[in-house]
Amino acid sequence: MNVEQIYTKCLAQGAYYIESKGEAVVIDPLRETTPYLERLQEDGAQIKYIFETHFHADFVSGHVDLAKRTGATIVFGPQANPSFTFHSAKDQEVFKVGDLIIKVLHTPGHTMESTCYLLSDKSGKDLAVFTGDTLFIGDVGRPDLAQKAASMTQEDLAGMLYDSLRNKVMTLGDDVVVYPAHGAGSACGKNMSSETSCTIGKQKRTNYALRADMTKAEFVKELTDGLMPPPQYFGMNVSMNKTGYTPIDEVMVRGTKALSLEVFSDLMNQEEVLVLDTRNASLFSEGFVPGSIFIGLEGQFAPWVGALIPTDNQKLILITEPGKEEETVQRLARVGYDQVLGCLKGGFPSWLAADKGYETFERLSVSEFTQLDFEKECIIDVRRPGEYEASHLTMSQSLPLDYIKKNSALYPSEKPFILHCAGGYRSVIAASILKKNGIHNVRDLIGGYNALPENSSLKSDFICPSNS
């Protein structure tokens, strides 16, 4: 028996490959099929089923392409109704894979079709449960992402999730291993652990949502309190996972096409085309194509693309570091951004060599930052509200990157200001967006809030000057 978690850190997503006696299944696969095909070849195995825990919102699953490549059956739990051929599993239905048994546990609440899959050995001993977004390590799935009837509220779904957890999941043995679809960093929950697996017993002791004395009313209130709006791309991904999508091979061929400087320049002058620069933050700040947006591969690339770049078939052309073209296009495709028209041949150095105009912005070291006169400076913190509330520079103003389009008028337009985040990644994204929109008086703190000493005097009671 082989049970493998394939964890993709930038998406905080766990897919699963299970093999027994030459038969295999994959649970919640990523869009690219190669990792699974390679494992099948190594094991000399045939994939039998592709199990989906629900219609994912935060990534495009590989179920459609993988089924076409292998002939495997796509399985969803009750109440799913995708546009492609699939098997609609009933609650408690059993599937055999080699010497293993997989039982369907319909657990509505995160979404109506949400389903967990219970893995047992041939003797019937329960080994593990693959919980999708029903149960995370330290948290449970948020109840506001489902495509639901107008008469059903997030409170209704939260109540259903309470029942699903207590009637289907918490009744499992304490030694059963929990394998969720996501870990810390995913927007599908709000309090996820950095651990990527655990046991039912430990979760019953440590997960706030599984407290034995918790009433349904308390659960619903706690689960729905403080939910941030879901990222804009979630609806697009649900639709693609439900109706199908362009084969990944076609997306890769088109997106990795090398564009000459002339073709690239012509495309960037078209209103419907956006230039996306995925180099690291320091390289970008030293010089970039005017009007380009920075979202670097070294951070949580795909989620920030999905949160900030329009989802209506936005056409993209890319500037990457050498050799990163294929990785960039693949990671964009994971969250449904299929309209990449190609990459600048030779990258940014070719732009410089052609003596094209470029832009920069200033980045301050911690030493330079601490020597400023903060009674005259405006400091803007682009971290999320919860981060700001937990700890922040008292002279700073909170304008989260998540809402930069909505809050664009709140940034100073005539005087300089300084951006910071936790580590220096999100603030550079913000700087690029602001400069694209004509706000150029921006500086950035290298290393962000985490680079400042905990006992820094900057945490005294300064007040950020007015934007007026």
Residues 214 and 266 in one domain: no
Residues 30 and 130 in one domain: yes
Phi, psi torsion values for 466, nearest 5 degrees: -65, 150
Residues 210 and 280 in one domain: no
pLDDT tens digits, one per residue of 200-220: 999 999 999 999 999 999 999
Residues 347 and 383 in one domain: no
Our CA angle for 338, 308, 339, nearest 5°, is: 15
Asked which of 305, 320, 353 is the last residue of a domain, the reply is 353
Whether residue 97 lies inside any domain: the answer is: yes
Whether pLDDT at 149 is above 70: no
Query: Given this model, what pLDDT does residue 311 score?
Result: 86
Handedness of CA 235, 239, 241, 244 (dihedral sign): negative
Query: Given this model, what pLDDT does residue 441 score?
Result: 94
Query: Given this model, what pLDDT does residue 228 score?
Result: 78
Task: Name every residue whose Cβ is closer than 8 Å to that of residue 107 and which is 6 or more positions away in sequence.
Answer: 114, 115, 116, 131, 134, 161, 164, 165, 168, 169
Phi, psi torsion values for 92, nearest 5 degrees: 75, 0
CA–CA distance, 340 with 250 (Å, rounded to integer):
11
Residues 82 and 157 in one domain: yes
Residues 41 and 87 in one domain: yes
Token pair of 122 as six digits: 């041939």
Longest dimension (CA), the chain: 72
Looking at per-residue pLDDT, the higher value among 391 and 285 belongs to: 285
- Going by C-alpha positions, the residue among 55, 49, 81, 43 that lies closest to residue 67 is 49
Our CA angle for 123, 164, 131, nearest 5°, is: 60
Query: Given this model, what pLDDT does residue 188 score?
Result: 74
Whether residue 19 lies inside any domain: the answer is: yes
- Going by C-alpha positions, the residue among 220, 217, 105 that lies closest to residue 157 is 220
Query: Given this model, what pLDDT does residue 246 score?
Result: 95
Query: Given this model, what pLDDT does residue 455 score?
Result: 66
Whether pLDDT at 50 is above 60: yes
114 neighbors 54 (Cβ within 8 angstroms): yes
What is the bridge-based pairing of β-strands 417-420 and 442-445?
Answer: parallel
Residues 314 and 268 in one domain: yes
Looking at per-residue pLDDT, the higher value among 400 and 385 belongs to: 400
Q: How far is CA 90 from CA 77, 94, 95, 158, 167, in A?
A: 6, 9, 11, 22, 16
Which amino acid would we find at residue 166?
R
| H/E segment holding residue 370 | helix 366-370
pLDDT tens digits, one per residue of 3-18: 999 998 888 899 999 9
Whether residue 235 lies inside any domain: the answer is: no
Q: Could you list the residue range(s) of the whole structural domain that residue 65 is in?
A: 2-224
Number of structural domains in the chain: 3
Which amino acid would we find at residue 167?
N
Residues 257 and 145 in one domain: no
Whether residue 95 lies inside any domain: the answer is: yes
At which residue do the structure tokens 């050799």 appear? 323
Residues 444 and 339 in one domain: no
- Average pLDDT value over all residues in the chain: 92
CA–CA distance, 239 with 60 (Å, rounded to integer):
9
pLDDT tens digits, one per residue of 292-321: 999 999 988 988 999 999 888 899 999 999
CA–CA distance, 412 with 440 (Å, rounded to integer):
10
pLDDT tens digits, one per residue of 427-466: 999 999 999 999 999 999 999 999 998 766 665 433 344 4
- Residue-wise over 378-406: b if at least 16 C-beta within 10 A, else e? bbbbbbbeebbeeebbebbbbbbbbbbee
- Going by C-alpha positions, the residue among 46, 67, 63, 45 that lies closest to residue 54 is 63
Whether residue 230 lies inside any domain: the answer is: no
Q: At what angle do helices 301-308 and 426-436 cross, to 10 degrees?
A: 30
Query: Given this model, what pLDDT does residue 389 score?
Result: 87
Handedness of CA 321, 324, 327, 329 (dihedral sign): positive
Q: Can you tell me whether residue 388 is helix, strand or coil?
A: helix
Residues 288 and 215 in one domain: no
Whether pLDDT at 256 is above 70: yes
> Per-residue DSSP letters for 342-359?
EEETTHHHHHHHTT---B
Question: Taking the mean position of all CA atoms in its chain, how far away is CA 467?
Answer: 33
Can you give the CATH number for the domain in which 326 is found?
3.40.250.10
Asked which of 191, 224, 257 is the last residue of a domain, the reply is 224
Whether residue 92 lies inside any domain: the answer is: yes
Whether residue 33 lies inside any domain: the answer is: yes
Instruction: Taking residues 104-123, report their average pLDDT.
Output: 97
Q: Look at phi and psi of residue 448 and say left if phi exceeds 0, alpha if psi is from -120 to 50, else beta.
A: left
Query: Given this model, what pLDDT does residue 211 score?
Result: 95
Token pair of 429 as six digits: 């994204």
Whether residue 241 lies inside any domain: the answer is: no
Query: Given this model, what pLDDT does residue 325 score?
Result: 98
- What is the strand order of the sheet 115-120 is part of? 94-97, 100-106, 115-120, 126-132, 177-180, 198-199
Query: Given this model, what pLDDT does residue 467 score?
Result: 39
Our CA angle for 153, 155, 160, nearest 5°, is: 100
Residue 10 is given by DSSP the state: G
Phi, psi torsion values for 178, nearest 5 degrees: -100, 120
Query: To the nearest 10°, the Cα dihedral for 38, 39, 43, 47?
Result: -100
Asked which of 189, 224, 259 is the last residue of a domain, the reply is 224
Residues 168 and 67 in one domain: yes
Q: pTM value?
A: 0.90
49 neighbors 101 (Cβ within 8 angstroms): no
- Going by C-alpha positions, the residue among 199, 195, 318 that lies closest to residue 264 is 318
At which residue do the structure tokens 């989906």 appear? 52
Residues 33 and 13 in one domain: yes
At which residue do the structure tokens 């649900």 appear? 238
Can you give the CATH number for the domain in which 92 is found?
3.60.15.10
